[in-house]
Chains A and B, each alone.
Chain A
Amino acid sequence: MDTLVEFLVSAAILVGGVFALIGSIGLARLPDFYLRLHGPTKATTLGVGGTIFASLLFFSWQEQGLRLQELLIVLFLFITAPVSAHMLAKAAMHRQLRHREDTRGRPWKQ
């Protein structure tokens, strides 16, 4: 049983780590601000999700009881991440940052 839990925890950490890494790669190589905005709000949700799931599993197992504190992290992240992304996008439009030439549609004037 111990091995099984260990296996699950490791898998969850790996999945979380991979998605966090991909999110950061996106941040580094996407061409304009609006595209880069997708990195931190996105791939990281699953990155943090995986890590939190692993932590939840590990501590519940070790202390022989359900530990759900980690769920609060998810809750707060889900409340704050979209708001910060929204503010960043608004700020970008206000400063009229350039976007990739082939972007369809136009940002609004602020």
Chain B
Amino acid sequence: MRRLLPFPMLSLLLWLSWLLLNGFSWGHGLLGLVLAVVLPLGTRPFWPNVPHLRNFPKLVRFVLVVHWDIITANVAVARLILRSPRKLRPAFVELPLDLEDDFAITLLTSTISLTPGTVSADVSEDHRTLLIHTLDMEDEAALVAQIKQRYERPLKEIFEC
């Protein structure tokens, strides 16, 4: 089973995407199933270390939290943009990373970029530090603490022990 489906979640996602794209029918269900098995096997070399999902309920919770943050923060950023740009307090912030898994780091950087007000600009060579640009920062320590507590800790619990 593990050899046929090295990434069960990826396979499931591919299968669902195929069905969403083509409509639900027996034929497409079967074709999608074939693709869901073949594509992960074919792209195996692109996944040097396989990320392990350890806590599925936490992942669902994390996704919901991120969506909620996207909505509320969008409103906040809209207000910032409409105000005078002079009042913005932009900053580059370095965030020390606790995550070690590359895939989890990618998820964290994407989350930071998606939640308005922050864009992740770079990851250091040793993958220990993240450079973030913020639109309007009050307090550096508070921002770092918030990102760590709200996004990094759940990701750590989801992908690492």
Q: Mark A residues whose CB is within 8 Å of B.
A: 19, 22-23, 25-26, 29-32, 34-35, 37-39, 41-43, 45-46, 49, 68-69, 71-72, 75, 78-79, 81-83, 85-86, 89-90, 93, 99-100, 102-108, 110
Contacts and interface: CB of A to CB of B under 8 A. Distances in A.
Contacts of A69: 20-21
Given A38-B77, A38-B116, 7 more contacts: A35-B85, A82-B110, A100-B90, A104-B90, A104-B140, A107-B133, A108-B124
A81 B133 contact: no
Nearest to B129: A108
Nearest to B116: A42
Contacts of B94: 105
Interface residues of B, number: 37
Contacts of A86: 109, 113, 119-122
Interface of B: 17, 20-21, 70-71, 73-74, 77-78, 81-82, 85, 88-94, 109-114, 116-117, 119-122, 124, 131, 133, 135, 137, 140
Given A41-B114, A42-B77, A46-B71, A82 B82 contact: no
